[in-house]
Amino acid sequence: MPSRLLISEELPQVAWHDDFIPSSSIFCWTSSVVDLLCSFLMWSKSILFNAFLASAVISAPSGFPSSGNGLWYTKPGVIWSRDWLPVGNGFLAAMTPGGSVQETLQLNIESLWSGGPFQDPTYNGGNKQPNEQMAMATAMQQYRSGIFTSPTGNIDNVETLATDPGAYGSYIGAGYLVATLNVTGTVSNYARWLDLDQSIARVTWNQAGSAFTRETFCSHPTEACTHHVSASKGTLPPLTFAFSSALENGLPTPNITCLDSDTIRIRGTASTPGMLYEILGRVRIKGGKVACLSLPVPTGFPPNATAVVTGASEAWISWVGGTEFNQDAGDVAHGFFFKGPDPHAAVLALLSGSLSTASYTTLRNQHFADVQKAFGAFKLDLGQQPDLSTSTDALIEAYQIDTGNPYLELLMFNYGRYLLGSSARGTLPANLQGKWALDTGTPWSGDYHSNINIQMNYWSAEMSNLDVMKPLFTYFEKNWAPRGAYTAQVLYNISRGWVTHNEMNIFGHTGMKAFGNSAEWANYPESAVWMMLHVWDHFDYTNDVAWWKAQGWPLLKGVASFHLDKLIPDRRFNDGTLIVSPCNSPEQAPITLGCAHAQQLIWQLFNAVEKGFSASGDEDTAFLEEVRAKRNAMDKGLRIGSWGQLQEWKVDQDAPNDTHRHLSHLIGLYPGYAIANYEANLQGDLTLVNGSRATYTKAQVIDATTVSLIHRGNGTGPDADSGWEKMWRAACWAQLKNSSKFYHELTFGIFENFGANLFSLYDPFDVVPIIQIDANLGLPGAVLNAILQAPDVPTLAAPLVITLLPALPTQWATGSMKGARTRGGITIDLQWAGGKPTRALMRVDPSVVPRPVQIVFGDTVVASFTTKAGLTKTLTSF
């Protein structure tokens, strides 16, 4: 992900929040002269602390999970990105500050985007025109020969190939729902929290002699979100539900009307002109009455309305929302228009049924049951002691690098799964901010940056048994593949398969998205190759043959077909290998040949094709043979350079002081396997060193990788300091079985890059920081990689090596994991104590392809077996 131009200059060069003085920075000397000064400093620190926490309440609110599985606070949130709490069901999302008298819920609808064909009917996915195909093919030839003949192996631009992004658009906020109680008096006993067992946000407080409760959740089965208000005293004060677009910066003012006596209807567009959306909010009450009223507006202004509740003992509003975006209309047959019907009928249909008839308790219980089903198959325990006397903002403020806090780490692990499950279960995948975006200028459009960020979002999904992958794959199939085939043709003169580049929206943006000479971002035709490894992994974990035949295999075949034609003979080194050129290592400047990242990824993709061929039912053996031949002939992207590093490019030009945020050439360490499971006989024999072939040993490749990882630094380059860099480094150190470096990077990331609401922040020191969800969702992946590893293997004949506790930090010496999944359809329950496994239970799915498995702890193979359907194995000695 970007250090992008627009943001990086804004990063202040301070090392810590101005309003916080860490204890360690106050030194108390023993001299009596300075004692006074010292106590003054300690005193002011405690004042700051108290002002910051305002902690009259020092225990978790009543009703907070006794396991500690939630986030709680003693004050309402102020800053959206840092304090507010997220809820979502994939289709809709909302952020709550936890207001008392007035709650302002900020809303999202997953497909609400400005731009695209809705704003500009000529929008073509950032592509060239058909008549430019020959010019592009010629330019490509020139760039290639420029690289082959250049003394450095580099050229300085590929500008001709890139295209202005045009109406690329942005994921945007959908307005605010404002729920106001007509009550006055001092608010006391205030608390707000997010319960991660139940996926529900709550606010409680006392006022005017009554104890109030607000609850907010988004339910997946109903595709609705619900906000409920109740009070301990019989009757609620008058309560209004209104909608505000004024609070959502840049959102065109919608028409707000009464659909009927208890339903507010909001109809607007994302931009002008732009995509149409509709939100319906139905108010339900117990006792009393509800009336939807039109509000006076100046002549010529769009109508406004509000729902007023009086005399009720409780009231709730359930809202549903949709747009006219239709992913099924993103292909040639539909002119890539992505346009469906007016959303009114569909959202109205959602409102019928339980949202209009069931009691609040029934609705809530339906949600709780769904949450249990979605998240409950997997459970991790790090031996943590829940701390119910420290609010979450104080927990993260007190957090220290290397010392850590297993309770907070487990909480953030669960929160990562919560955020993924709450944003990825709709019809579109989780974007750069999950599904939570404010206003209309979402950083980097809240899009799908596919050179680490979207991949990282899904790191934990398979192993922690979250059923969230299908919308991602359908997005590839319907949004990327159709226009990606056009891009393959006009940009690359390749008539089979499809290609995408670095950044994708929801309107089939597949061209090289340029801003000036920006090859480091634009020139990344391997994005879909990386994503196809997620497609392959899903099959490898589940053995879901029907899905593989229908969706998985066609996706892989399309991307592999394109790259079969795109690989070219290396006419610089003339070593008989096939390479990519021109290539960029993601977000790095040199435009060159044989980028290690691309070569490793394509090699892994071709292996996946071979492994998945027989299950696909495809009889195209010519394709399989071509994949095999080109895979064998291609450069494998593993080369040890002049200072012992793993080269990032085929030309040895790595700078030892390059602390770039991406670890692109280490892709085969994590999340890939080209390094982690290196096999000399498959990958080594084509490496040309000083004119002769060399075959590295696995130890040499791992050593070079370690050298590169060390030199890449800890994820605080001059260009960016974001959380995802540290999560990637943590996962890589875990893969190298280095628990102290793993824990250092993990704790450094938690220390540096997360807000009071535990959201991962791109620029944590800014007053109004940017959310970037990748580190939140990557954290569980990195944590899992320290506890259980089973990286992919090049052939199904190679044993699947499952390593238990490969990089367990001493802080997690005792713990357990239940329901973890690995490749090969295996479910594992694991218990450990004193840093060693005490019990491992393996259960093989009822339907699997038998394969050899080794269970490893330390350097020892503790068990070997071949999987078969329904096999169960228990290990108790290690």
Ligand X SMILES: *[C@@H]1O[C@H](CO)[C@@H](O)[C@H](O)[C@H]1NC(C)=O
Is residue 801 at the binding interface for ligand X, with CB under 6 A as the rule?
no
Cβ atoms of 363 and 219 within 8 Å: the answer is: yes
Cβ atoms of 534 and 552 within 8 Å: the answer is: no
Helix (H, G, I), strand (E, B) or coil at 380: strand
Of 302 and 858, which CB lies nearer to ligand X in the complex structure?
Answer: 302
Choices 9-17, 120-128, 261-269, 612-620 (CB under 6 A): range interacting with ligand X = 261-269
The minimum distance between CB 615 and ligand X, in angstroms, equals 31
The minimum distance between CB 717 and ligand X, in angstroms, equals 7
The pattern of x and - marking residues 140 through 169 that bind ligand X according to CB under 6 A reads -x----------------------------
Is residue 291 at the binding interface for ligand X, with CB under 6 A as the rule?
no
Is residue 690 at the binding interface for ligand X, with CB under 6 A as the rule?
yes
* Class of residue 569 by CB neighbours under 10 A (exposed 0-12, middle 13-18, buried 19+): middle
Is residue 710 at the binding interface for ligand X, with CB under 6 A as the rule?
yes
The minimum distance between CB 357 and ligand X, in angstroms, equals 28
Is residue 716 at the binding interface for ligand X, with CB under 6 A as the rule?
yes
The minimum distance between CB 814 and ligand X, in angstroms, equals 20
In whole angstroms, give the CA distance from residue 851 to residue 543.
Answer: 12
* Class of residue 146 by CB neighbours under 10 A (exposed 0-12, middle 13-18, buried 19+): middle
What does R_g of the chain's alpha carbons equal in angstroms?
Answer: 28
Is residue 714 at the binding interface for ligand X, with CB under 6 A as the rule?
yes
| Member of 325, 436, 748, 759 binding ligand X (CB under 6 A) | 748
| Member of 81, 405, 500, 738 binding ligand X (CB under 6 A) | 738
Closest to 115 measured CA to CA, from 436, 506, 521? 506
Q: E strand or H helix at 246, and its extent?
A: none
The minimum distance between CB 159 and ligand X, in angstroms, equals 18
Is residue 713 at the binding interface for ligand X, with CB under 6 A as the rule?
yes
Choices 114-122, 240-248, 285-293, 857-865 (CB under 6 A): range interacting with ligand X = 240-248
The minimum distance between CB 733 and ligand X, in angstroms, equals 7
Is residue 99 at the binding interface for ligand X, with CB under 6 A as the rule?
no
CA 528 to chain centre: 16
Whole-angstrom CA distances from 528 to 176, 369, 429, 533 are 36, 36, 15, 9
Is residue 137 at the binding interface for ligand X, with CB under 6 A as the rule?
yes
In the bound state, the residue with its beta carbon closest to ligand X is 137
The pattern of x and - marking residues 652 through 681 that bind ligand X according to CB under 6 A reads ---x-x------------------------
Using the 8-state DSSP alphabet, how is residue 684 labeled?
T
Closest to 72 measured CA to CA, from 226, 177, 209, 200? 200
328-333 own/partner pairs: CB under 8 Å, 24+ apart: 328/478, 330/478, 330/479, 330/482, 330/483, 330/507, 330/508, 331/478, 331/482, 332/482, 332/486
Q: How many CA atoms lie within 13 A of 622 on its CB side?
A: 0
The minimum distance between CB 508 and ligand X, in angstroms, equals 23
The pattern of x and - marking residues 384 through 403 that bind ligand X according to CB under 6 A reads -----------------x--
Q: Using CA atoms of 644, 646, 650, 653 in order, give the dihedral in degrees to the nearest 10.
A: -60
Q: Answer positive or negative: Cα dihedral of 532, 538, 540, 546.
A: negative
Helix (H, G, I), strand (E, B) or coil at 765: coil
Of 280 and 363, which CB lies nearer to ligand X in the complex structure?
Answer: 280
Helix (H, G, I), strand (E, B) or coil at 171: strand
Of 100 and 269, which CB lies nearer to ligand X in the complex structure?
Answer: 269
Is residue 293 at the binding interface for ligand X, with CB under 6 A as the rule?
no
Is residue 493 at the binding interface for ligand X, with CB under 6 A as the rule?
yes
Choices 239-247, 363-371, 422-430, 842-850 (CB under 6 A): range interacting with ligand X = 239-247
The minimum distance between CB 394 and ligand X, in angstroms, equals 21
Is residue 238 at the binding interface for ligand X, with CB under 6 A as the rule?
yes
The minimum distance between CB 607 and ligand X, in angstroms, equals 27
Q: Answer positive or negative: Cα dihedral of 375, 390, 756, 28.
A: negative
Closest to 83 measured CA to CA, from 602, 838, 550, 755? 755
The minimum distance between CB 218 and ligand X, in angstroms, equals 22
Interaction with ligand X in 577-636: which residues (CB under 6 A)?
none
* Terminal-residue alpha carbon distance, the chain: 41
Helix (H, G, I), strand (E, B) or coil at 710: helix
Q: Hey, what are 391's tokens?
A: 């609010």
Is residue 478 at the binding interface for ligand X, with CB under 6 A as the rule?
no
Q: Hey, what are 754's tokens?
A: 């997360």
Choices 425-433, 576-584, 612-620, 737-745 (CB under 6 A): range interacting with ligand X = 737-745
CA 164 to chain centre: 27
The pattern of x and - marking residues 170 through 209 that bind ligand X according to CB under 6 A reads --------x---x---------------------------
Choices 135-143, 668-676, 766-774, 775-783 (CB under 6 A): range interacting with ligand X = 135-143
Interaction with ligand X in 432-461: which residues (CB under 6 A)?
none
Closest to 575 measured CA to CA, from 690, 404, 673? 690
Is residue 255 at the binding interface for ligand X, with CB under 6 A as the rule?
yes
| Member of 81, 114, 163, 304 binding ligand X (CB under 6 A) | 304
Place of tokens 């400047």: 589
Q: Hey, what are 819's tokens?
A: 């329901």
The minimum distance between CB 161 and ligand X, in angstroms, equals 13
Choices 157-165, 265-273, 374-382, 663-671 (CB under 6 A): range interacting with ligand X = 265-273
Choices 236-244, 319-327, 381-389, 569-577 (CB under 6 A): range interacting with ligand X = 236-244
| Member of 6, 633, 689, 861 binding ligand X (CB under 6 A) | 689
| Member of 174, 177, 201, 242 binding ligand X (CB under 6 A) | 242
Of 388 and 401, which CB lies nearer to ligand X in the complex structure?
Answer: 401
Cβ atoms of 83 and 755 within 8 Å: the answer is: yes
Is residue 138 at the binding interface for ligand X, with CB under 6 A as the rule?
yes
Whole-angstrom CA distances from 690 to 104, 517, 718 are 66, 34, 35
Choices 136-144, 370-378, 381-389, 582-590 (CB under 6 A): range interacting with ligand X = 136-144
| Member of 741, 821, 823, 851 binding ligand X (CB under 6 A) | 741
Q: DSSP string covering 249-307, please?
A: TTPPPPEEEEEETTEEEEEEESSSS--EEEEEEEEEEESSEEEEEEEP--TTSPPEEEE
Of 21 and 136, which CB lies nearer to ligand X in the complex structure?
Answer: 136
Is residue 288 at the binding interface for ligand X, with CB under 6 A as the rule?
no
Is residue 306 at the binding interface for ligand X, with CB under 6 A as the rule?
yes
Is residue 687 at the binding interface for ligand X, with CB under 6 A as the rule?
no
Please work out the total of residues on this chain that contact ligand X, with binding judged by CB under 6 A. 34
The minimum distance between CB 736 and ligand X, in angstroms, equals 7
Using the 8-state DSSP alphabet, how is residue 672 labeled?
-
Of 593 and 707, which CB lies nearer to ligand X in the complex structure?
Answer: 707
Of 54 and 655, which CB lies nearer to ligand X in the complex structure?
Answer: 655
In whole angstroms, give the CA distance from residue 431 to residue 428.
Answer: 8
Helices vs strands, H then E, count in the chain: 23, 33
Exposure letters 23-40 (e unless 16+ CB within 10 A, then b): eeeeeeeeeeeeeeebee
Instruction: Give the residues lining the site for ligand X (CB under 6 A).
Output: 137-138, 141, 178, 182, 238, 242, 244-246, 253, 255, 267-269, 276, 295, 302, 304, 306, 401, 493, 655, 657, 689-690, 710, 713-714, 716, 738, 740-741, 748
